[in-house]
Structure 1
Amino acid sequence: MNLANSNAQGTRPRVVGQMSDLIQEFPGQFMNEWQTWYQEKHPVAIDNATTRIWNMVQEFQKVINTIDEKMVRDWVEELILVKTFSGLKFQEAILKKIAEQENTTYQLADPSDESKGIDGYIGDIPVSIKPISYKSKILSENISVCMVYYDKKKTRISVEYNLD
């Protein structure tokens, strides 16, 4: 369900409302009060979310049998041989450029840092480097270090960060 919902964006604020705001507006104390209050405030939201997610589940059902071992192998090769190489090279280039701009050193993360979401260091500041699209994703991952976002353009990489 989570995968279908993620792809369908069935529970995004534009479909079901901004939950963090709604729960603050909610005047009651109990779950049954919340259920009634929410459904009065957003009477078609659950139906709309269900429809979006169900449509995506049906799309999954249509295409799942077209996936074969060769397709999986091609995907794994692309991930390991192309995307990993490109991503790690981008990370190092970004670290190097920021370090130059900040007049300091850089260092790639070691495996124990990587398990904490750290991709490297600018001076002694741990940073996580993500594509700009990461900002719009709703992920359970919580990274509590300085975020560096990059956007790969045709002829350059655009980078945004704040080390403060």
Structure 2
Amino acid sequence: MELKIEIEEIRRLLEIEDIEFPKYATQILNLANQNAQATRPKVVGQVSELIKEFPGKTLQEWEEWYLERYPDSINEATKKILKMLDSFKETIDRIDEDMIKKWVKDLVVVKTFIGLRFQEAVLKRVAREFGLNYRPSMPKDEKKGIDGYIGNVPVSLKPITYKHKEMLAEKIDIDIIYYEKQKNGLKVSIPAELEGKLLKTP
């Protein structure tokens, strides 16, 4: 048997008063908080650890116990979020239909294309690093696990998670360039053995 208890029900079970916010307010406040980093441990303490140390039982006791240790944390976090919201307001005033259209086009058209074609960007960037030419693979190459060539060296492009798998379903006998998708792009890892080959490639 499995039970799902949503946060609203947990509040009721613990007899904690529910707080009503206007529509979209919590989403906006969450975004402002993330950008301002207002509730990071350096501001409000490591609350997940502090609650374990808390010796009391009630919400009121926890509030008093916490505020004795971090008396300025709530006000400091509030000010950080308020400052970020002011920045949001300035930006919102600058957003018009043309800007929205550019953003939607970048999201729907450009980023979709990048997601499909980023492998070519990796090949091109690595080739440039070593002063070599590159070319994407042909269908006959892809059957062998080859994603492209840097100079005359065939390479495969794999996510970094592939590297850590204990048992791989396929055996690849060619050199692998590993990539990791990050917030603002890709982190690319070139194994030392492949680096040596590329340095020697005319």
Q: Which TM bucket (shorter chain)?
A: 0.5 to 0.7
Structure 2 residue corresponding to 1:98, chosen from 162, 165, 177? 162
> In the alignment, which residue of structure 1 is the partner of 2:186?
152
Give the aligned length.
Answer: 116
Check conservation: 1:11, 1:49, Cα contact below 8 A: yes
Structure 1 letter corresponding to 2:57 = Q
Structure 2 residue corresponding to 1:7, chosen from 23, 26, 35? 35
The 5 A counterparts of 1:99-138 are 103-105=168-170, 131-133=181-183
Check conservation: 1:152, 1:158, Cα contact below 8 A: no
Structure 1 residue corresponding to 2:93, chosen from 57, 60, 65? 65
Deviation string 1:87-123 (CA, Å, 9 cap, x unpaired) is 3445994359938x86425xxxxxxxxxxxxxxxxxx
Check conservation: 2:32, 2:84, Cα contact below 8 A: yes
Q: 1:78 to 1:25 in 2, by over 3 A?
A: same
Q: 1:87 to 1:26 in 2, by over 3 A?
A: farther
Unaligned stretches of 5+ residues in structure 1: 106-128, 135-150, 160-164
2:145 counterpart of 1:80: no
Q: 1:83 to 1:130 in 2, by over 3 A?
A: farther
Check conservation: 1:16, 1:49, Cα contact below 8 A: yes
1:5 shift after superposition:
0.8
Structure 2 letter corresponding to 1:104 = A
Q: TM-score scaled to structure 2, two decimals?
A: 0.49
Structure 1 letter corresponding to 2:189 = S
Q: TM-score scaled to structure 1, two decimals?
A: 0.59
Check conservation: 2:160, 2:180, Cα contact below 8 A: no
Structure 2 letter corresponding to 1:46 = I
Deviation string 1:18-52 (CA, Å, 9 cap, x unpaired) is 12101111111100000000100101111110110
Unaligned stretches of 5+ residues in structure 2: 1-28, 120-146, 148-156, 171-178, 191-202
1:80 shift after superposition:
1.7
Q: 1:27 to 1:130 in 2, by over 3 A?
A: farther
Deviation string 1:119-150 (CA, Å, 9 cap, x unpaired) is xxxxxxxxxx973459xxxxxxxxxxxxxxxx
> In the alignment, which residue of structure 2 is the partner of 1:38?
66
Greater Rg by CA: 2
Q: Give structure 1 regions of 4+ aligned residues with deviation exceeding 4 angstroms.
A: 88-93
Q: 1:96 to 1:24 in 2, by over 3 A?
A: closer
